[in-house]
Structure 1
Amino acid sequence: MKSQWGNCHWRQGYITLNTALARCPETLRDYVALHELVHFVHPDHGPGFYGLMDRLMPDWRQRRKELRRYGGALAG
């Protein structure tokens, strides 16, 4: 994975997480893992997806913003 932190294969029943997450703080790894897990309930990024993210991790927007600073880790 060179451009994504994670991917949900909801039809097949599994998620893939980028190994570059190991270079990120645990709070950001938790955000990515939850984001992908929520796709099992809401496969798209519609209102239901964001509503569930809000309920399960109220500060997810801040974590997503912080994760952007680690984008260079995706390349190598």
Structure 2
Amino acid sequence: MIEYELVRSKRKTLAVQVTREGRVIVRAPLRLAKYRIERFVAEHTDWIVRALADQQSRRAAHPEPDEAKQAELIRRAKIELPSKVQHYAKLMNLYPTGLKITSARTRFGSCSGKNSICFSWRLMDYPEPAIDYVVVHELAHIAHKNHGPQFWALVERYLPDYCARRAMLRE
């Protein structure tokens, strides 16, 4: 049997999640019988085992940097990202209202509804073409707030090889 953390709430469905840290969380309705939850976990054991292995290999491939390495990545992000944003913003004629460097773990960049862009300093641990891809991707969100065909056409106009660059982020 798989060990899991049970979170009950006012929901109607059962769900299982494997966190980046390798914890298994099962979310269940408040009054659902324990045997039904256990049966659900048993039915999803194969998926949970695969997800745990996947998270373990991701952590091994990208371990948390020590303090010195983290400080260096933050320093580089503060120097390099604003100039990259400026370069591509001018090229694309899309200008963000703000730029922040964050410690986000689950996304390399984001663009708010008010066109302010955030980048994780963790992005700086990836190859330059991948960094440029994230910059162009977030700037494209100023024009298109979704991942529809027009969004991808805009990204492709400035980075025809964006698929290869994006793949670098997954390696």
Q: Same fold (TM over 0.5)?
A: yes
2: CA distance, partners of 1:65 / 1:3? 16
Normalised by the size of structure 1, how large is the TM-score?
0.83
2: CA distance, partners of 1:52 / 1:13? 16
Q: Superposed, which structure 2 residues align to 1:3-22 within 5 Å?
A: 3-9=106-112, 11-22=113-124
2: CA distance, partners of 1:5 / 1:32? 7
Equivalent residue number for residue 26 of structure 1: 128
Q: Equivalent pairs: percent with the same residue?
A: 38
Query: What is the alpha-carbon root mean square deviation over aligned residues?
Result: 0.9
**Matched residue of 2:117: which SS?**
strand
The structure with higher relative contact order (CA 8 Å, sep 6+) is 1
Structure with greater proportional strand content? 2
Q: Is the 8 A contact 2:107 2:120 kept in 1?
A: yes
Q: Is the 8 A contact 2:110 2:117 kept in 1?
A: yes
Q: Which has the larger radius of gyration?
A: 2
- Give 5+ residue unaligned stretches, structure 2: 1-103
CA offsets 1:43-75 (integer angstroms, 9 cap, x no match): 100010011111110000011111101xxxxxx
Q: Which runs of 4+ in 1 moved over 6 A?
A: none
Shift of 1:5: 0.7
1: CA distance, partners of 2:129 / 2:157? 16
Count of aligned pairs between the two proteins: 68
**Matched residue of 2:142: which SS?**
coil
- Give 5+ residue unaligned stretches, structure 1: 70-76
Normalised by the size of structure 2, how large is the TM-score?
0.39
